[in-house]
């Protein structure tokens, strides 16, 4: 008998540029991410390595999904993460989905929340490379209570991982990435772009 996890179409959650995400067949609170066959494997290892480091450093994971280890599946090697669920047990929807609804109250709330997230990552020197609104889920905690959870785009691709060891270096890196790219990440949502700010010059 094979001990590979069997990932079948009913377990499929969503697909990004590099990976497919499935529900874990044996654990309703976890998801399993498999790399597309033609994606460079380095990205996969760098991410796992970065998450493991964050977990050793015991950073606050309120806005992140903990990494739960590697597994073999019928679709290849995969990484296990916590599945982001709403209070009714459904899989949380992306920030892109909510922004597309263009609700004024939500937009106002979310600009503050993204600013808060950005400060949280700065304080804990968590490096990111892509905080576009498909990499952030909006977890509903209760009536009118939501939290942003980043499920992708964390870490860096430096061969010499200084940003993993040095808070000063990591902050420099994330400030540069945010200030250069946030307008592009949210370009479909001008209301949000207008509300967001660059990190102040240090």
Ligand X SMILES: Nc1ncnc2c1ncn2[C@@H]1O[C@H](COP(=O)(O)OP(=O)(O)O)[C@@H](O)[C@H]1O
CB 35, min distance to ligand X, A:
8
- Tell me how far CA of residue 128 lies from CA of 12, 23, 35, 74, in angstroms: 26, 25, 19, 30
Q: Which lies closer to Mg ion via its Cβ, residue 47 or residue 152?
A: 152
Q: Which lies closer to ligand X via its Cβ, residue 11 or residue 193?
A: 11
Taking CB under 6 A as the criterion, which residues in 35-64 touch ligand X? none
With CB under 6 A as the contact rule, which of the stretches 77-85, 105-113, 115-123, 190-198 interacts with ligand X? 77-85
Contact present, 154 and 128 (Cβ < 8 Å): yes
With CB under 6 A as the contact rule, which of the stretches 79-87, 119-127, 138-146, 185-193 interacts with ligand X? 79-87
Among 151, 163, 177, 192, binds ligand X (CB under 6 A): 151
Taking CB under 6 A as the criterion, which residues in 80-139 touch ligand X? 81-84, 91, 94, 134-135, 137
CB 165, min distance to ligand X, A:
25
Contact present, 109 and 155 (Cβ < 8 Å): no
DSSP 9-53: GGGEEEE-SSEEEEEETTEEEEEEEEE-TTS-HHHHHHHHHHHHH
The alpha carbon of residue 167 and the mean position of all alpha carbons in its chain are separated, in whole angstroms, by 20
Contact present, 189 and 111 (Cβ < 8 Å): no
Note the residues at the interface with Mg ion (CB under 5 A).
Answer: 16, 135, 152
């Amino acid at each position: 008998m094979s001990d590979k996890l069997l990932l079948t179409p009913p377990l499929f959650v969503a697909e990004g540029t590099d990976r497919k995400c499935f529900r874990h067949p044996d654990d309703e609170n976890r998801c399993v991410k498999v790399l597309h066959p033609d994606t460079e494997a380095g990205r996969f290892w760098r991410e796992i390595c970065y998450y493991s480091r964050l977990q050793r450093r015991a950073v606050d994971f309120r806005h992140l999904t903990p990494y739960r280890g590697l597994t073999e599946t019928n679709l290849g090697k995969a990484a296990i993460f916590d599945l982001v669920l709403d209070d009714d047990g459904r899989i949380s929807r992306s920030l892109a989905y909510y922004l597309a609804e263009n609700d004024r109250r939500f937009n106002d709330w979310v600009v503050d929340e993204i600013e808060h997230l950005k400060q949280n990552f700065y304080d804990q020197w968590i490096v990111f490379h892509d905080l576009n609104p498909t990499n952030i889920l909006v977890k509903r905690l209760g009536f009118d209570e939501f939290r942003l959870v980043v499920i992708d785009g964390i870490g860096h691709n430096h061969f010499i991982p200084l940003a993993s060891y040095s808070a000063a270096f990591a902050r420099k890196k994330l400030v540069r990435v945010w200030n250069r790219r946030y307008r592009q990440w949210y370009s479909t949502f001008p209301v949000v772009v207008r509300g967001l700010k660059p990190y102040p010059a240090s």
